[in-house]
A and B are shown apart, each in its own frame.
Chain A
Amino acid sequence: KNQVEQSPQSLIILEGKNCTLQCNYTVSPFSNLRWYKQDTGRGPVSLTIMTFSENTKSNGRYTATLDADTKQSSLHITASQLSDSASYICVVPLGAGNMLTFGGGTRLMVKP
């Protein structure tokens, strides 16, 4: 069964601290993995797209890693800001048509 699982479900950190979110997937065939940020009640916004040949990709304070052998990805947020409070969703396209399979998301809250 094609699945995308994320951990932790929720996370609270203090402003300025770093954190790492995890994603395990079993989608096959695999083409790429995406991390999205979704503010409550708003549409998801793409952070990174990684193919199976990429190990690390950065977007500002966001760094995503991918291990295609173990089918794991992580999203590392550096020097967190209050505006980072949101849900972070790991997404893997299913099939050639790019239907996105969403993970359960990690709800991050950054406190001052």
Chain B
Amino acid sequence: AAGVIQSPRHLIKEKRETATLKCYPIPRHDTVYWYQQGPGQDPQFLISFYEKMQSDKGSIPDRFSAQQFSDYHSELNMSSLELGDSALYFCASSLRGIQETQYFGPGTRLLVL
């Protein structure tokens, strides 16, 4: 079965650079979630989209923005990168419902030097 696809899988950037992470949800899933997981930490919810509209906002820095496109894929744009942004960034997708399961992608490992 198709899973959530994230690209790139690994990314190395320098401080103050920008990065764009992409997420392709499971076909027919209408909701996308972004999470940030620092080394040894729990995943932290950043932002989610339902039907291309922002549905919830978590601890996403102002330097980050995201959107969901007409084909339901989502992009997380990160500007003015800081060392502390080094983390695993997970995208999850689901089909909106009362108990929908969020299916996580493999993650993008971002390293800021």
Residues of A at the B interface (CB closer than 8 Å) are 31-32, 34, 41-46, 49, 51, 89, 94-95, 97-105
Contact present for B92 and A43 (CB under 8 Å): yes
B22 interface residue, CB < 8 Å from A?
Answer: no
User: Interface of chain B, helix or strand or loop or mixed?
Assistant: strand
Complex CA gap A95/B33 in Å reads: 14
A sample of 19 cross-chain residue pairs with beta-carbon separation below 8 angstroms, ordered by A number, consists of: A42-B106, A43-B4, A43-B104, A43-B107, A44-B43, A45-B104, A46-B103, A49-B99, A51-B99, A97-B55, A98-B33, A98-B48, A98-B102, A99-B48, A99-B56, A100-B33, A101-B45, A102-B44, A104-B42
A residues near B58, Cβ cutoff 8 Å: 99
Report the minimal beta-carbon distance from A51 to chain B, rounded to whole angstroms.
Answer: 7
Report the minimal beta-carbon distance from A93 to chain B, rounded to whole angstroms.
Answer: 9
Complex CA gap A43/B105 in Å reads: 6
Contact present for B42 and A89 (CB under 8 Å): yes
> Total interface residues on B, using CB and 8 Å?
27
B residues near A32, Cβ cutoff 8 Å: 99
Residues of B at the A interface (CB closer than 8 Å) are 4, 31, 33, 35, 42-45, 48, 55-56, 58, 88, 90, 92, 94, 98-107, 109
Contact present for A41 and B42 (CB under 8 Å): no
Least CB separation from B107: chain A residue: A43
A residues near B43, Cβ cutoff 8 Å: 44, 100, 102
Contact present for A97 and B48 (CB under 8 Å): yes
Complex CA gap A46/B4 in Å reads: 14
- For the complex of A and B, 7 pairs with smallest distance between CB atoms: A43-B104, A97-B56, A102-B42, A99-B45, A46-B101, A99-B56, A44-B104
